[in-house]
Structure 1
Amino acid sequence: MSEPRVYVVDDELAVRRSIGFMLKTASMAVDTFESGEEFLKAAAHLDSGCVLLDVRLAGIDGLAVQEQLRARGIMLPVIIITGHGDVGLAVRAMKAGAVDFIEKPFEKATLLAAIAQAHLHNAGREQLHTLAKAAQARLNVLTPRERDVLEGLVNGQSNKVVAYDLGISPRTVEIHRANLMQKLDVHSLSEALRIAFTARMGAIEGNA
């Protein structure tokens, strides 16, 4: 399995060349971008990987790039590259979802450790996506009314409250509940709820 790519976004040619050389000698695939605008134009079509993003860029800055990625639903993990005195900006970036930050000048080991952390983040995201897709596929066998009942139960409502909200009798809710558990091939309500929560987590992650 090939390593995910590393996307370097920095407006200094010397930095792009230095990082590119460092990563290629570590057998990593690297693509470089000289501006946030150039990177954002390509971002939606990039393969899985992580972003090394300079916090201070000419034009749109690193924090704005990070915000745009999130707004577009592009979930590439971001490592912020920061110069001396920019640590406060790096902390803001971390609070906005960056997985790590490294301060210039940095050692190769520091850079590789940050990238390894980002790749673990990616792997966890991809695993969640796979589990969520499988859970959603199981939920797709349910009728709309059975899904309404399950949604009510996921929200912690009792059979009576679900019945009231849906305008049906508690007995009908019990029937739908039994049917959906049979279709999902589960033996307890907690198993059914776990499937629903897993599918919901995938939807939240995709919309984050």
Structure 2
Amino acid sequence: MSETVHVVDDHAAVRRSLAALLGAAGHAVALHESGEALLAEAEGGLGGGCVILDVRMPGMDGLEVLAALRARPAPPPVVLVTGHADIPLAVRGMRAGAFDFVEKPYTEARILGAVEEALAAARAAGAAREHAASARRRLALLSPREAEVLALLVEGLPNKLVAARLGISPRTVEVHRANLMEKLEARSLPEAVRLHLLAGQSPSG
């Protein structure tokens, strides 16, 4: 369910109200009566959507659900909904990775604005993950020696020092460098470095 807004609240009337509001704004909506119900569905992934999560609920509270979501790969942006007395909890949630918190009673514009921003963040995170996956696919084409050369180039070493570090000639480094640039489809060394970093690797030094 791509770009679905998941509403988690133990009050059926609140779920129905948010479903009507979000549906009228053109959003796909999934309703969950508890954090446990959301997490059970999240086992199969929540797509590129976001979560509206009440802080105070029986069973798992909002912060516990947030922590469980954040522990999973590619967690969705979470908008916490809180009463005035629960603002300190919501602030703790922000520190723990929540995207936003909305205080009750909220206006339609406030909750819709938070959802739009959360969905935009989800789209940006999805694009970043795809860029990283693409970079990893390209890096997988490199031979072990080419990968070593690239890692040293990422450290900022010139060809001569790369050659000395690896015990090969500068000319051989140039050959490996040309080959890895071709495999990565990189037009410049900075572009190759960017791909290396996008793939989640870091300079070994």
TM-score interval w.r.t. the shorter chain? 0.7 to 0.9
Partner Cα separation in structure 2 for residue 160 and residue 12 of structure 1 = 68
Contact 2:48 2:123 in 1 (8 A): no
CA displacement 1:96-147 (0-9 Å, x = unmatched): 2211110111111111100000111011112212322332232232112211
Q: 1:184 to 1:109 in 2, by over 3 A?
A: same
One-letter code aligned to 1:179: N
Question: Could you say which residue in structure 2 is the equivalent of 1:123?
Answer: 123
Q: Residue 3 of structure 1 contacts residue 28 of structure 1 at CA under 8 Å; is this kept in 2? A: no
Which residue of the partner structure matches residue 35 of structure 1?
34
The residue type paired with residue 168 of structure 1 is G
* Residues 152 and 62 of structure 1: CA distance in aligned 2, closer, same or farther (over 3 Å): farther
Alpha-carbon contact 2:2-2:47 (below 8 Å) kept: no
What is the match of residue 49 of structure 1?
A: 49
Q: Alpha-carbon deviations, 1:10-56, whole Å to 9, x = none?
A: 11222212212222222322111111111111113233211001112
Corresponding pairs, count: 199
Aligned twin of 2:17: 18
Distance 2:64 2:21 in 1: 27
Q: What are the Cα deviations for residues 85-105 of structure 1, in whole angstroms up to 9, with x where unaligned?
A: 111111121122211110111
Check if 1:92 corresponds to 2:92: yes
TM-score by length of structure 1 reads 0.83
Cα distance, 1:163 vs structure 2: 5.5
Look up the match of 1:82.
82
Shift of the 107–141 alpha-carbon distance from structure 1 to 2, 3 Å rule, reads: same
TM-score norm. by structure 2 comes to 0.85
How large is the RMSD of aligned CA atoms in angstroms? 2.4
Distance 2:63 2:141 in 1: 42
Q: Distance in 2 between matches of 1:70 and 1:158?
A: 40
Q: Write the distance in 2 (CA, Å) between the matches of 1:25 and 1:200.
A: 40
Contact in 1 for aligned 2:48/2:126 (Cα 8 Å): no
- CA gap of 1:16–1:137, structure 2 versus 1, over 3 A, is same
Q: One-letter code of the match for 2:10? A: D
CA distance in 1, matches of 2:133, 2:74: 18
1:70 and 1:14 mapped to 2: Cα distance? 28
Q: Which residue of 1 aligns with 2:59?
A: 59
Q: Cα gap change, 1:184/1:74 in structure 2, threshold over 3 Å: closer, same or farther?
A: closer
